[in-house]
Amino acid sequence: MRYFVVVPAAGSGRRVASATPKQYFAVAGRALIEVALAPFLRDLHCARIVVAIAADDPHWPAIERRLNDPRVRAVTGGAERADSVRLGLAALRNIAAADDWVLVHDAARPCLSRAELASLLGELADHEVGGLLAVPLADTLKRARPDQPAQVASTVERAHLWRALTPQMFR
C-alpha cells in the first residue's frame, strides 16, 4: 500500500522557550526530526515525505543532507500547524492519487515504532476515511473548580478516553 507523509516542521520553539525549534533538539546524536522520519524512511511503501519548514530555517539543509533520500522534499510551511499541513498537502496534489493514503506526523514525535506504523497501516488499509494512532489514557485527570481553579472539583472518568498521537492517516 503506497502512502505519503506530511511533516509540519515550521515551528519556532516558542512554547519550549528555546532559540532552537524542538524538532532540532538532539537525541542520541540525531535531531528529533531525523528520528521521527526514520520509520517512514525504512518503509518502501512510503512514496514521498514532504517536510514543511520555516522559510528561514537554518537547520534543515544539514538534516536533508544527512537523510540523503530522494523521497524527502521540503516546502515552506505556514504560521500554524494547520497551515503547514495544508501546504504539505498542496505539494502532493500532482503526485498522490485520490485513493492514496497521507499520513501527517509531527516532526518532534520521535517515538513512533516500526510496529506501531505497521499496525496503523494494517488496521486502516481498507478503511474509507482513515484514523489516527492513539493509546488508552493511563493518567488520572482532575477537573478544577470553575470558581477556584487551584482546587479539584472531581476526578474525570477515563474509561473511554484516549490520547491522540501521530501519525494521523487519511485519504
**pLDDT tens per residue across span 61-95:** 999 999 999 999 999 999 999 999 999 999 999 99
Radius of gyration of the chain (CA): 18
Each residue of 6-41: pLDDT tens digit?
A: 999 998 666 767 778 999 999 889 999 999 999 999
Q: Please return the burial class of 158, using the count of CB atoms within 10 Å of its CB with bins 0-12, 13-18 and 19+.
A: middle
Structural domain boundaries in the chain: 3-136+164-170
Whether residue 109 contacts residue 165, with contact meaning beta carbons closer than 8 Å, is answered with yes
Grid cell digits, residue 122: 494494517
The three-state secondary structure class of 74 is strand
Query: Residues 103-120: what's their mean pLDDT?
Result: 95
- Read off the DSSP letter of residue 71: T
% of the chain at pLDDT higher than 90? 92
- State the Cα–Cα distance between residues 134 and 144, nearest whole angstrom: 25
CB atoms within 10 A of CB 39: 21
Q: What is the pLDDT of residue 13?
A: 64
| Strand (E) or helix (H) holding 5 | strand 3-9
Grid cell digits, residue 103: 499520513
The CATH fold assigned to 3-136+164-170 is: Spore Coat Polysaccharide Biosynthesis Protein SpsA; Chain A (3.90.550)
Biggest CA-to-CA distance, the chain: 56
In this prediction, residue 137 has a pLDDT band, given cuts at 50, 70 and 90, of: very high
Q: Phi/psi at 143 (nearest 5 deg)?
A: -100, 130
User: pTM for this structure?
Assistant: 0.90
Q: What is the pLDDT of residue 19?
A: 79
Packing angle of the helix pair 60-67, 32-41 (nearest 10 deg): 30
